[in-house]
Chain A
């Protein structure tokens, strides 16, 4: 955090000054480790084993915050008797279908609700990255459940949790992660001690957790700990994702993502959502508790914002104008389709996949096989010059005279040359004022897309084609101003906020959204950002003039709420858990919730409220159900649906690992997304043979002085001077073993690529003793490429493409490689070297690695196809 989010880290230091204990878990000793109380080096890709150890420690010693856990989580809920745990399946849960490498979730449901399984067969959800829809709300589950308040029932969530994590002992943590048990116990003890009525603990993570084939479950494990310790919805608690780009939270909320529409409404699926009603019901889940019950209003209002006058209740608000998903349309599938010649044109908007995405060679070969490419950026980036300067030009794989891609480079306006909002990492929108006009041909994306749309509509005017209706019906008249005819960003923000169609009055909140076409709302969760016709995101009341919650600085979604689920900061009766951790509470005199923050609860619903029989939506939430976006109002220790790779987190080895999984026969995530394409490959891992061909584990991360793929830092001289060269960090022990010298050259080889780097021999990396053997890890920055003031080979070239099944994010925080002294070959011999390694490793291009590697007979879940074995165990 000190390296990649330095200014955010000041608050960790502030907490430390006030007595907080800081733990840093990282494969490499960084600036964060330097000021932490305790640093724990970890084997990359084993965090679930570490966190699972903490869960076990809490449960074994009964250190959970029992009152919170009983009232606010699903600990007491009873699970179906059809459920079988990984304990019985050697790493597989019940319901695994080996034909699709995915689960049928029926057996995971709450008892008596087996038929409620929202997901059924989850292969389709994986292709649609359905996990992302749950960014703002839980998955489908019935509101009324069987509970055992004594937590003794063998099938209550609490007992299932105990059994599931029983094998994550301190000894096992040491064996899997390489963390000595005393250090582990120090962490577990401190975490538990720092939680309860008087204290709260925070968990901070970043892409070191998400970029894994089992990344969502890393975060789930963190969530289980924080729920057990009562650290959710309370000040100083929470699970904080530190996001890496100025508005990446915004680009998830108002998604430029294939499977989502604004506000986490799903993009419709051709088979599941043929009609508007099918689509809406799949979101609002009739009968379920919580605020998604109003989804029809959010959906209708979005379509009304899109298609204006053309969208009416009679035509289902032009629902048929929406494109339909049929499967996986994610960025990696797209790249493979580009290589296969299926994609004509590609837009890159301030993004540089030639350096920043996994498997850089696949990215560049894909771009070299398009009809046309539009690059909009501040600088001439690698993704615009691959046809001229890319590594594949040197190897002869891309010949400029034979490369057909037509490239348009359009200069973009910088952040000071346009106005608009960024949403930062804590859901806070901050409006930026424009300082100057953009230079030359540089334009904002607002300008480019508005005028592109205008032109497309002009060209199509009078078209009778059905396919052109959606463009011609589009509400696309934004006021423009200035010499460049810049569209008004405030007008767009007002549409995002939503307004009353007849009066034009901006809505005050999403509670005012209607399903009858009388409101238009571009992104319902942002509703309120333009309340009273005032740009709330532009508020800048100084921190010196307001309290520590700083509610008048910018605007946070939803409803300017700074801490989500903050009803949980009060006890079930609505009183603060302690004076010290007071945040939001029930005021019996006034008959309303009050506090420092905007209460995340219906303002006048008393703690004693109990829903009438048969209630649904918000009315079904009891006065002590704080998790208002969840289908049962509870924090989920156990996820009966919504998470595709299991109701509980399980340690699996990364897709590429030198080790056999010490915990289960199942080696890697059995539901991970694998692409069997000739350009893609996975280095062998046990129980496959030849894993020793790639004996070392590598991981990548950021330098303080560079930014992602380098387009905004390798081009900026002060930053380029500070970090001028690509390098690899290795331990003295690995340097001795591999014959590497400090400041000399080395090259690294994976099944995809060879890259070279200067060697930095340093104690910041340490060999780990893991399961009786020594594992060497090495570290690379991933910022370098061949354009800019400072250049170097790209670390992401080393990675193959394997994705997390929930969100289709790639595993690019851990892989295996070999490292040799000296510079890499150039020209065609470079590919020969890769081919030689692939031959030795037995890699057949396009072949899938074995998925199921269990050693015992699996329980036949209701939908499994009976016991069977797959994948021999050579370990």
Chain B
């Protein structure tokens, strides 16, 4: 390494002569950090998304490599958030990749003290059977004056404020067709 290269590699020199007078960017960069690439640069693809926490609706860019989420960044194009994310939005990658996430169906029998495994398809079938039974047991066709009721008060549901509009649309449509009236979400709370 020549003297010139040595001096040019000296951070204070770079800070004084370069484009980074505060010494918080390129001037302070080491050879190692200069050689690193961001996960965002090597991603296979980027999905335009929206933060799942509060209703500000900050834009997110979701970076994916090998079909795994490797980074989630604020979207600088968004007129709402201008690229910013708060601590929760910034933790979104940890949320979706959390080792605590449940990825299999769990089943607790009545009076049991523990969980068991259950096949997803079986679970769906059991739930369908229970819905039909609950409707049958609690169905109300008409009121005392013969006016239509067409409903069951034996089934309840709560949730929707973190779900997509399309999901809520199907939820409401299906429950309404079932005659299930007691459908609620966080907007009541």
Contacts and interface: CB of A to CB of B under 8 A. Distances in A.
A609 to B, nearest CB: 34
Nearest to B95: A716
B95 A492 contact: no
B41 interface: no
B81 interface: yes
A702 B36 CA distance: 38
B104 A411 contact: yes
A432 B102 contact: no
B154 A402 contact: no
Interface string A363-394: 00000000110101111100010011000000
A64 B149 CA distance: 50
A523 B165 CA distance: 10
B26 interface: no
A470 B110 CA distance: 31
A251 interface: yes
B64 interface: yes
A334 B52 contact: no
Contacts of B16: none
B84 interface: yes
A183 interface: no
B8 interface: no
Residue with the greatest number of chain B CB neighbours at <10 A, chosen from A271, A324, A550: A324
B158 A351 contact: yes
A345 B131 contact: yes
Contact of B188 (A440, A722, A809): A809
A345 B50 contact: no
Nearest to A789: B100
A329 B91 contact: no
Interface stretch (A95-103, A288-296, A453-461, A593-601): A453-461
B188 A349 contact: no
A582 interface: no
A321 interface: yes
Interface stretch (A228-236, A257-265, A641-649, A750-758): A257-265
Nearest to A414: B96
B103 A440 contact: yes
A741 interface: no
B128 A452 contact: yes
B49 A452 contact: no
B58 interface: yes
B141 interface: yes
Contacts of A271: 143, 147
Contacts of A252: 187
Contacts of A261: 172, 176
A493 B149 contact: no
Given A349-B158, A449-B170, A257 B149 contact: no
B55 A433 contact: no
Interface string A249-285: 1111111111001100001001100100000000000
B186 A435 contact: no
B84 A10 contact: yes
Contacts of B96: 414-417
Contacts of A402: 111
A408 B123 contact: yes
A406 B110 contact: yes
B78 A410 contact: no
Contact of B189 (A331, A421, A489): A331
A651 to B, nearest CB: 24
B185 interface: yes
Contact of B57 (A256, A430, A439): A430
Given A416-B96, A432-B50, A372 B130 contact: yes
Contacts of B86: 6-7, 704
A7 B59 CA distance: 11
A515 interface: no
B73 to A, nearest CB: 12
A708 to B, nearest CB: 8
A245 B55 contact: yes
Residue with the greatest number of chain A CB neighbours at <10 A, chosen from B76, B89, B110, B138: B110
B183 to A, nearest CB: 5
Nearest to B162: A350
A402 B112 CA distance: 8
A493 to B, nearest CB: 6
A323 B137 contact: no
Interface residues of A, number: 168
B154 A343 contact: yes
Interface in B94-127: 94-96, 98, 100-115, 118, 120, 123-127
Contacts of B177: 306, 321, 453, 470-471, 473-474
A820 interface: no
B167 to A, nearest CB: 4
Given A243-B55, A256-B159, A450-B170, A323 B181 contact: yes
Residue with the greatest number of chain A CB neighbours at <10 A, chosen from B62, B133, B159, B167: B167
B102 A411 contact: yes
Interface in A717-755: 717-719, 722
Residue with the greatest number of chain B CB neighbours at <10 A, chosen from A251, A306, A470: A251
A481 interface: no
Interface stretch (A158-166, A499-507, A539-547, A829-837): A539-547
A5 interface: yes
Contacts of A414: 52, 95-96, 101
A744 B131 CA distance: 49
Interface string B42-84: 0001011111111111110010100111001000111111101
Interface string A401-413: 1111111111100
A420 interface: yes
Nearest to A543: B79
B112 to A, nearest CB: 7
A262 to B, nearest CB: 7
A543 B67 CA distance: 30
A262 B171 CA distance: 12
A718 B149 contact: no
Contact of B166 (A400, A404, A420, A424): A420
Contacts of A431: 48
A425 B55 contact: yes
Contacts of A809: 188-189
Contacts of A325: 181
A435 B62 contact: yes
A410 B105 contact: yes
A869 interface: no
B166 A371 contact: no
B169 A522 contact: yes
A538 B183 CA distance: 29
A708 B141 CA distance: 39
Given A450-B170, A452-B128, A323 B151 contact: yes
Contacts of A337: 153
B28 interface: no
B88 interface: yes
A446 interface: yes
A808 B189 CA distance: 8
A826 interface: no
Contact of B124 (A455, A541, A788): A455
Contacts of B64: 435-436
A455 B158 contact: no
B170 A434 contact: no
B188 A5 contact: no
B180 interface: yes
A418 interface: yes
A442 to B, nearest CB: 6
Closest 8 CB pairs of A and B: A424-B57, A420-B164, A349-B159, A440-B103, A323-B151, A256-B160, A351-B159, A550-B79
14 contacts: A247-B165, A251-B163, A256-B168, A256-B185, A344-B137, A351-B160, A358-B189, A426-B57, A460-B132, A466-B141, A526-B165, A553-B77, A704-B86, A719-B94
Given A306-B177, A326-B143, A351-B158, 16 more contacts: A255-B168, A256-B168, A270-B147, A324-B150, A344-B154, A345-B155, A388-B113, A404-B110, A420-B165, A421-B166, A424-B50, A431-B48, A456-B131, A470-B179, A540-B59, A705-B88
